[in-house]
Amino acid sequence: MVVTALKRAPQRKPMQVRNVRVDFQKQIHDLKQNLGLVSRQLMMQQFYVEEQTRSSGDSGLKRIRTDRQGTQSYHSASHSNRWTLAAIHNHPEYDNLLGFGEMIAVLNGIEFRTRHNDYHLRMRHPTKRDTVKDIPFPDVPPQVSELKKEEDQAIEMREWFKAWRDQDYSVRDYRRYFRPVLCYLEGTWTNSAQTSLNEPFQSERHHIDATSWLNLADKIRFTSYSGSKDGLENLAYLPTTLMTLINGTQPVLAQWNFAILCHPLSGDLPLNRLHVIDDLKTRMSHGMMTMEQYEASRAARYQVATFDTDRWQDGSSQWSLLDHLMEEIPGRDGYSGSINDTLFDDTAFPYQNTGDESTAECCLLSPVVQSEEGRCPRTSYSSPGFLGSKSLCGTDH
């Protein structure tokens, strides 16, 4: 007879299981906390880079495409090259299209590189968000359209162009028919998913050659590391940043995007409000061209007058003519959008110069903040030379 003795296996104490569960929970808590700290440090590191950019220079154009070099530094392109400022060129074979090459720009500390930027004269839609429309052309002067023969119309139209060129509206008041258009570069952080891609703005000749933001980032990293270039100029470096953390651990990414749009100014802009800036680098690259030759070339750049007067004046001011012009620029909501800028119990007001800056009138909705002393200090990182301040829609110009 075989007798089998069964021995009861020892049971694990419930306390040991509980201790293991508590230990795992503590580890998970510590991992989440450490992930949040590392993610926040990455976010602050990106902010540190942007702050360095803001303090080391102004918003604006930094560099354009380069196709030549030489024995002197002025032989290579910077913000301009031998022939043109900002790689601006003509496309007469297209309707209503302006040529604008690749560039590296900085907006409020964000540095980015664009694709080829040929753009149309298009403006924000009056009521629809993120929608554009063609800028309407002004009417033809009736003194021209009422003539029966085309030859007579052409002759009379030339006289209107001469009146505009000479800024003489005593006989032919061109101001109603020669309307100024202000084109601008704007940029913003968007919450676009990395698996999608939003074209910055439509162009008949160029588009972003990528299927998603991730695909674009891979392509631009390859070309940058290898020193190569997209022959069609359809790639762009548009940065991504860690914008915030949900519950301290879940990262939220933001994608930088830009657009080049235009706006028909509400009034006339006399040509004497534009003053040519001597660019020695550009003039020396041509073998020291004269100022007259430089001013007549596409390489010339201009400064908008500080004061809205017929006589050019050097000097400083809290508010300039360019600030006044940029107040007309709408945001992504279009011309019917309403923006209230209140932060830390301070409300932004528009600056309305009454002639005495000590009693400057401030009204709601503007890029300046009324301080305790009643003054309206400037609040931007833009160039005091030929750029302006932060506009109502939050863009530098």
Q: How far apart are CA 330 and CA 263, in angstroms?
A: 9
Q: In the prediction, which pLDDT does 178 show?
A: 96
How many CB atoms sit inside 10 A of residue 174's CB? 22
Which portions of the chain are predicted below pLDDT 50?
A: 355-377, 379, 382-397
Q: How far apart are CA 155 and CA 166, in angstroms?
A: 17
Q: In the prediction, which pLDDT does 203 show?
A: 85
Q: In the prediction, which pLDDT does 152 show?
A: 96
Q: In the prediction, which pLDDT does 366 show?
A: 37
pLDDT tens track for 240-277: 999 998 888 888 999 999 999 999 999 999 999 999 99
CB-based contacts of 339, cutoff 8 Å, min separation 6: 331, 333, 365, 392, 393, 394
Q: How far apart are CA 378 and CA 360, in angstroms?
A: 13
Burial annotation 6-41 (CB, 10 A radius, 16+ → b, else e): eeeeeeeeeeeeeeeeeeeeeeeeeeeeeebeebbe
How many CB atoms sit inside 10 A of residue 265's CB? 12
Q: In the prediction, which pLDDT does 107 show?
A: 93
Q: How far apart are CA 353 and CA 359, in angstroms?
A: 8
Residues above pLDDT 90, as percent of the chain: 42
* Six-digit token string for 121: 């004269």
Q: In the prediction, which pLDDT does 71 show?
A: 82
Task: Say if residues 359 and 351 touch (Cβ distance below 8 Å).
Answer: no
Whole-prediction pTM value? Answer: 0.81
DSSP strand pairing (97-100 vs 88-89): antiparallel
Q: In the prediction, which pLDDT does 149 show?
A: 95
pLDDT tens track for 165-192: 999 999 999 999 999 999 999 999 998 7
Q: Would you call 315 exposed, middle or buried from its count of C-beta atoms within 10 A (0-12, 13-18, 19+)?
A: exposed
- The secondary structure of 310-355 as a DSSP string is SS------SS-HHHHHHTT--BTTBTT-----EETTEEEE-EE--S
Q: Would you call 268 exposed, middle or buried from its count of C-beta atoms within 10 A (0-12, 13-18, 19+)?
A: middle
Q: In the prediction, which pLDDT does 11 show?
A: 59
